[in-house]
Structure 1
Amino acid sequence: MRNAYHHIDFYPLRHPLVLFFIPFAVGIVTAYYASGIFTTAVVAAIMIVSMVGLILSQYIISKKYSDYCLYIFCGMTLMSVGALLCLQRINATQVDWPQDKGDYLIGITSPPRHSERSQRVDAKILSGKYEGKLLRLYFPDSVNISTGDEVFVHTKIDAPQNSGNPHEFDNKGYLLQQGISGTGYVWQYKKRDGTERKSSLRQWGGKVREKLTSRYSEYFEGQSLAILAAMTIGDKNELTKEVQDIFSQVGASHLLALSGLHLGILFSIFNITFLRRTRNRYFRIVLSILGIALLWTFAFIAGLPISLQRAALMFSLAQIMIIFRRDAFSINNLALSAIIILIINPLSLFDVGFQLSYASVLAILWIFPIIPCPKVVARYKVLRFFHDSLCVTFCATIGTAPLVAYYFHNFPVYGLIVNLVLVFFAYGILVGAILFFILPFATEFIAIPLNGLLKMLEATLTFFAELPGSHLKPYPTAVSVLLIYCLIFLYLFFRKKRKTLYPVATIICTFIIISESYAHRPHRLKPQIVFYNLYGGNAIHFINNEEDTYLWQQGRDATRSLSYIEKTFWEEENIKTPVQLREGYDSVKGNASILFSSLTDLPKATDSLLKEEPKSAVISFHNKRVIALTGKIARSRDSTAQVDYLYVTKGFSGDPASALEHYSPKTLVISSSLGDKYRLMWKVSAREKNVTIKDMKESGALVVHL
């Protein structure tokens, strides 16, 4: 293992493809975040100017400066190419969908993923104006659909949107990266029979994956089935949230996401079984090509995730280099694989799997060769194998830890030990899975030890997860993560050079990281009112500080939707469980006070009242008056005072003009649960009375800082 990396160093001129990758990636990032400024025509013009400047600089400018001009104009050209590809991808994905429901013929392109009451599938429109566009659709859980089915659906398609809740996951950006143009809920549908279309490779892979999972289910069940399917064929449908949390806490999530570890094990098995036993060079070439074909077949069956694309490309390039007797594992090959993936889909650069995969491999290629191997260890192959495995795990951890902390807010304390143990589990499970399928006459006998190995894996991870201090929950900012990588780069780049640049840059980066951490420290919340944008419910959060918060909610599904906010916004900001507002609640703490009363004649709060749906209510907080209107207009002494925010939700059936006349609010907040017809009526009436409008379906959640 070590001999493969002994010569690697990261001086850019020794790895020219890195010099191509950097400006190419910078162009993609610039276009993604400034897509509203740069159009395709502007970027194309910049690219033409750069190419003309590149050519002219070699004839007009003196040789002394021609090299600098070459680097500048080449960089600008590559940036323009990256930006142009990114903008084309964004423009191809974004669609102006009709405002009303429509009829579409779709083909299911992914296996259904079941949730509590629905199932999610990815689909492709097969005909009509929007042919070729990808959708993410939700069907009732009772519908029997599978990959490759063609279905007529009657539904309303919306462009992907975020809810706008604080600290939420960027679902809109994620769907854009996946090429998803629209989402919708399907209640009216009809399967199409009698027509067979040619399946794409992805659809073929999905069908094979479903068959293999069905084969597994005959001999395995529960979480053993879920872990086995995820580790060997990339099917995560059966994984529960509890099991995923255990893997995440101990730093073993990569075991469930097929990547270079899995392909490395599979290819090492192929290498030991066939390639090492073959002396004839031409026969080795044939076997290498066969191995590459098998790798990509496995990748398509597993759904072709970004991490597997990178690994398959790297191993393919490595085998090609071996055939031509060139360097197999290098940063050049890593950069080439990244460029190929980004040319196919520039938005893959923003995929978490892409970033983690390349960060880990780059760290291994760069750091592993400089870790010394003790002479005592080098004498024995077994000790050297353990030493190298531990070093590779250490390098991968250094490369991915900042990103894991930023995206998942997790740092596994026992990650090194756990990952060293997991290598042996992964070998055993993958070998067992191969034997399970290629030896059908011994399937029942192979399933017994394989099932035991899966139980041992689950027990081992549970043991480490339950140890005290098994994981930390850091919350670094994006700037801090970038600066941490800068520190790693500075150390590795200048470790052999005694220059003042390194200590000065280190001090500056460290100072900025400390400043960022202090600026974003916990217990910094100021009083605010948050109108959450929830699916299936409504909620208003009155926050005085982290310890003192109050919540009004309405709708049976509001609690389930709030559970996601609890794990993001509340947990990150250390917000305690809020007090549920009930009839007659009155609290005064310091300068903050909150008064809650219903707009109907309800009795005082009792245990039985907690089970009832909240009625229309008036809430006073920090001299701001909020009315949550869920029913008919109610006339009470509380409702006639100045209203700052009138929050209209599903259930109100009165006349909007009369309600606005009665309450005279400064701002109208329209819940996303309100139907399109009533939303339009409220907007028209509010504009006539010059009332500020906040439509949560269009602008997301509303945060009012007090």
Structure 2
Amino acid sequence: MSYEMKPLEFISVKFSIGLLLGISCGWLFPIPQELAILLSTICLVITSLFFLFENYRKGIYFGIAAFLSFISLGIVAITLAQPKLSAHHYSRDYNQDNGFWILELREVLKPTNFNRRYIFQVHALNDSARSGLILGSIQKEDKISDLKVDNHLLYYGKVHPISPPLNPYQFAYDSYMESKGVYDQIYLNPENSIQLKTTGKSLKGWAAQIQLHIKKELSSTPLGVKEQGVLRAILLGQRNDLDPEVYRSYKDAGAVHILAVSGLHIGILLLIIRFFLKPLMSSYFGRSTSMIVTLLILWVYALFTGVSPSVVRAVAMFSFITYALYLKRPTSAINILALSFLAILLIQPKFLFQVGFQLSYAAVFTIGWIYPLLIRFWRPRNRFIKRLWKLFAVSLSAQLGVLPLCLYYFHQFPGAFLVSSMLIIPFLGILLGLGILLVLLASLKSLPDSLALVYNQMIRTMNELIGYIASQENFIIRQIPMDRPGLVLLSVIIILLVLSLQKKKFVYLCFLGIAIAGFQVWNLYLLHQNRQKNEVMILHQVASTAILYQNGDVLYVMTNDSMRIKTLVENFELNRRIQSTRSIPVPNSFYLGQDQWILLDSSGILPPVRKNIKGLILTQSPRIHLGRILEQSCPDRIIADGSNYADDIRRWRRSCQIYGIPFYSTAEMGALSLGQL
């Protein structure tokens, strides 16, 4: 394959951009399936007519029509992939009453501190065939046996919308699940669900069974618990049992991609397979046989890892590369990448909104584009330095590609990423190859303890090395604010920078300067906007009171449990660009302009108040007669935060309804801003 790349010269790249735009438009502005199909049909017919006439086929009109066709195909793909737009989705005739649901377990999610979580496929609702996905939760203390993929359940009850975040800048789990086609959730317990007889196994069911068998067999080997977690992560893509401290170290060292089976792992696996199949190449049908065997092993490995989306994406991409290697035709890595991008998104358009998909393609794209430029920039003669320079160039290219996305999603930059990559990646092939052998032997109950101990020491050494790199706090830049406009502007800056170095045209330098200025102006604008804020906000936190007061770039935190709200405060500091944070005691009253607000805690003692107060904030479930307070003080509104008992909140709401006073509960409606001062 040729490494000479000019991305927009490839038709596949142009069509990929069109498909990406179509999927994005279809997601942001959903339309009925019939209209999407009609629009796509019209575009395809017009493109076909242009193609039939040679004069138009080579003109700009055919190119525009073809580009619009891929935009319309993207709209159709994402429209058909949204379950709610299907005529058979359960939401079409669900009336929020209790019903009988037949469900099939499709995916076991990572458990939380309190619940086990699953994704179920709906088969029937009240004896009518229905479709759709539902999130299921089971409290850990409930006596329900661990469910497995393909298990069927009969559930009687309601479904509930997945709750949006109750505090500003929290992770929006409802939006994340919506991108997977899941809109509602159910709460399972022994009283409302019965496990039905499982009939047959799906592909995912077989994969889950294989993984459970591997996990069981590995647990009986001399491998340590942390080492088993890392092994299952780098080999099987399973991070549910990964030690949180180990994961944090890899993240801070800029090596977290090692813990997710992705293009890097599949690429190394492809090299290992080609090495062992090299003797076949000399036979008559050697190349064909080698390609078929390679593809078979790659897809068996995808099954072996549980058919997770990240592995399927990577295997699909390297299947195209395998076919290109078989053809032995001069081509470009970017062309193959774009073809795999088109194929994957036409089948699974929602992959576009998954962080792993974005990071994978950004990294591979920039490796294919920037790496050849860096290699031509310096050609060392020393063999060792040459290999070291190539490894450095690959790591730098990948990091430049994922930099905007990493800042947007994770808000930190691991300055030691080059060190960790250059120390670990050269030995990752050995870890993967030996890990596969170890898992196979463990599954056959033939794993020698000596081999297990050697591998255990290798993983432990890697963990210790990563831990040491991560402990160098001076190399980790945290709390970097980045929003969507900033993401776009930074991506444009990187693209224009590479183009300027590649073609050395003055116009690219001009646009680069404009992009950098735009990025600076946008950040200065956000900084100015936040410095104008003067706001009080009541957060929602279970069993705790938390009030934030922002005065420009200074944040005052009022709480009785600072550790509980540490993450909430950090998110607020990051997104509001706070320069200084101070903790002060929770007051019993405060003023917003001329309006007085009263906080009533568990003591139940009202501080001195005016005849009429603006609002009363109830915290820590005070033992009070609310009706009497409402008659005496006449507050304009009542607010109950997350520190109150649910029964008290219900009783206070009834009292407020009687007196006709607005009542607000943060447990139901989330954090509340009391407005600008």
Quick check: 209-218 or 74-83, which moved more? 74-83
* 1:71 is the counterpart of 2:79: no
Residue 563 of structure 1 and its aligned partner are, at CA, apart by 3.9
Quick check: 571-580 or 388-397, which moved more? 571-580
Map of 1:702 onto structure 2: 672
Equivalent residues in 2 for 1:210-609, closer than 5 Å:
210-219=212-221, 220-327=223-330, 330-372=333-375, 377=380, 380=383, 382-439=384-441, 440-473=445-478, 474-493=480-499, 495=501, 497=503, 499-521=505-527, 524=531, 526-534=533-541, 539-544=546-551, 547-552=554-559, 562-571=565-574, 573-574=577-578, 579=583, 581-582=585-586, 596-597=587-588
Residue 25 of structure 1 and its aligned partner are, at CA, apart by 0.9
Distance 1:531 1:66 in 2: 63
Quick check: 273-282 or 531-540, which moved more? 531-540
SS of 1:441's equivalent in the other structure is coil
Map of 1:134 onto structure 2: 133
Map of 1:81 onto structure 2: 73
Residues 1:77 and 1:188: Cα distance change in structure 2 (over 3 Å): same
Q: Are the equivalent residues in 2 in contact too, given 1:546–1:576 (CA < 8 A)?
A: yes
The normalised TM-score by structure 1 is 0.82
The normalised TM-score by structure 2 is 0.85
Distance 2:214 2:330 in 1: 37
Residue 77 of structure 1 and its aligned partner are, at CA, apart by 2.9
Quick check: 180-189 or 223-232, which moved more? 180-189
Map of 1:608 onto structure 2: none
Residues 1:366 and 1:50: Cα distance change in structure 2 (over 3 Å): same
Deviation per residue, 1:560-613 (Å, 9 max, x gap): 76243134223554476653645xxxxxxxxxxxxx33xxxxxxxxxxxxxxxx
SS of 1:127's equivalent in the other structure is strand
Residue 183 of structure 1 and its aligned partner are, at CA, apart by 2.4
Quick check: 175-184 or 187-196, which moved more? 187-196
Tell me the amino acid that sits aligned with residue 18 of structure 2: P
Q: Are the equivalent residues in 2 in contact too, given 1:539–1:552 (CA < 8 A)?
A: yes
Distance 2:596 2:284 in 1: 82
Q: Are the equivalent residues in 2 in contact too, given 1:405–1:411 (CA < 8 A)?
A: yes
Map of 1:107 onto structure 2: 104
Residue 415 of structure 1 and its aligned partner are, at CA, apart by 0.8
SS of 2:134's equivalent in the other structure is strand
Map of 1:121 onto structure 2: 118
Deviation per residue, 1:388-431 (Å, 9 max, x gap): 22211111011111211111011111111210111134223212
Q: Are the equivalent residues in 1 in contact too, given 2:252–2:414 (CA < 8 A)?
A: yes
Deviation per residue, 1:271-296 (Å, 9 max, x gap): 11123554224244234223222222
Distance 1:341 1:222 in 2: 36
Equivalent residues in 2 for 1:6-155, closer than 5 Å:
6-10=3-7, 12-13=8-9, 15-35=10-30, 38-40=31-33, 43-44=36-37, 46-51=39-44, 54=47, 67-92=59-84, 96=91, 99=96, 102-111=99-108, 113-128=110-125, 131-142=130-141, 143-148=144-149, 149-154=151-156
Residue 213 of structure 1 and its aligned partner are, at CA, apart by 1.8
Distance 1:333 1:499 in 2: 28
Residues 1:531 and 1:269: Cα distance change in structure 2 (over 3 Å): same
Residue 324 of structure 1 and its aligned partner are, at CA, apart by 3.0
Q: Are the equivalent residues in 1 in contact too, given 2:496–2:509 (CA < 8 A)?
A: no
Deviation per residue, 1:458-489 (Å, 9 max, x gap): 11011111225121122233223222222332
Task: Work out which structure has the larger RCO, using CA pairs closer than 8 Å and 6 or more positions apart in sequence.
Answer: 2
Tell me the amino acid that sits aligned with residue 23 of structure 1: G
Map of 1:644 onto structure 2: 614
Deviation per residue, 1:126-158 (Å, 9 max, x gap): 432584422222222244303233344455432
Tell me the amino acid that sits aligned with residue 390 of structure 2: D
Tell me the amino acid that sits aligned with residue 170 of structure 1: A
SS of 1:372's equivalent in the other structure is helix
SS of 1:551's equivalent in the other structure is strand
Tell me the amino acid that sits aligned with residue 542 of structure 1: Y
Q: Are the equivalent residues in 2 in contact too, given 1:318–1:329 (CA < 8 A)?
A: no
Q: Are the equivalent residues in 1 in contact too, given 2:152–2:196 (CA < 8 A)?
A: no
Distance 1:268 1:216 in 2: 26
Q: Are the equivalent residues in 1 in contact too, given 2:544–2:559 (CA < 8 A)?
A: no
Residue 695 of structure 1 and its aligned partner are, at CA, apart by 6.6
Residues 1:272 and 1:534: Cα distance change in structure 2 (over 3 Å): same
SS of 1:109's equivalent in the other structure is strand
Distance 1:446 1:144 in 2: 35
Distance 1:74 1:661 in 2: 71
Quick check: 429-438 or 327-336, which moved more? 327-336
Aligned length: 658
SS of 2:510's equivalent in the other structure is helix
Distance 1:413 1:537 in 2: 37
Q: Are the equivalent residues in 1 in contact too, given 2:359–2:405 (CA < 8 A)?
A: yes
Quick check: 479-488 or 330-339, which moved more? 479-488
Identity of aligned residues (%): 20
Quick check: 541-550 or 414-423, which moved more? 541-550
Distance 1:105 1:275 in 2: 51
